[in-house]
Amino acid sequence: MGILLIGASGLAREVLGAGLEDVTGVLDDDPAAHLAHCGGVVVRGGLDEAVRRPQDQLLICIGPGRARRDVVRRLADAGVGPERFATFVAPSARIGRGVAIGRGSILLDGVVVTADARVGAHVVVMPHGTITHDDTLADHVTLAAGVSLGGGVAVGEAAYIGMNASVHPGVSIGHDATVGMGAAVLRDVPDGETWVGVPARPLRSAVRAMPARVDPTLSTSIREVFA
């Protein structure tokens, strides 16, 4: 029995580089990737191979949480249960007492989870993320590299928190919400909204608040990206 990585991605290569062992192959629905290599491991075929190889565990290495959620649902429809999913915690990560980590989750190098935190299923925490006491991360959350969560933070399903962002203790991040890189979140972020800046505020409000000296072309590009 081995582990099949789902997604011939940069995340798959990071997981391999962080020391995951017993990987027997990679699965990806892109035919162009088939029989190629990802991090030195052969891409054996599409997602349907997960059903045909019940002896192997699965680890979804797809960056966006919503995409991971879609893959889990697709596999469930094909009869793949939660017991098939592996969990990977890098050897250099530090996990404190009373911490629970759900199936399918990935915690990469230098991640610290202190005490009594709850990490859901299929969560991805990129290198050097910090999850402190009593934090709760729902399923399919993604924390980019260097994210810091204060104590008692709640992060909703499939939310994304960008690189080096920080969240004040006790704050809630809604499901499917996005926090921009480098943001400092001091109050609750509603479901589905995108917040940016220091202190963080809704994206459109942040764009309106830009000083006049900011290049108007930059302002337009931000609106286009997040519209």
Kindly report the number of other CB atoms within 10 A of residue 183's CB atom.
Answer: 26
The residue length of the chain stands at 227
Active-site residue, from 133, 140, 168, 175: 133
Residue 182's DSSP bridge partners are: none
Query: What is the C-alpha to C-alpha distance for residues 63 and 79, in angstroms, rounded to an integer?
Result: 24
Query: What is the C-alpha to C-alpha distance for residues 205 and 222, in angstroms, rounded to an integer?
Result: 12
Under a CB-based contact definition with an 8 Å cutoff, are residues 132 and 111 in contact?
no
Query: What is the C-alpha to C-alpha distance for residues 89 and 209, in angstroms, rounded to an integer?
Result: 41
> 3-state class of 75 per DSSP?
helix
Query: What is the C-alpha to C-alpha distance for residues 91 and 107, in angstroms, rounded to an integer?
Result: 9
What's the Cα-to-Cα distance from 51 to each of 2, 7, 81, 84, 102, rounded to whole Å?
A: 14, 15, 10, 10, 21
Token look-up 């994304």 returns: 160
Amino acid sitting at position 131: I
Q: Is 133 a catalytic residue?
A: yes
Catalytic residues, by residue number, are 133
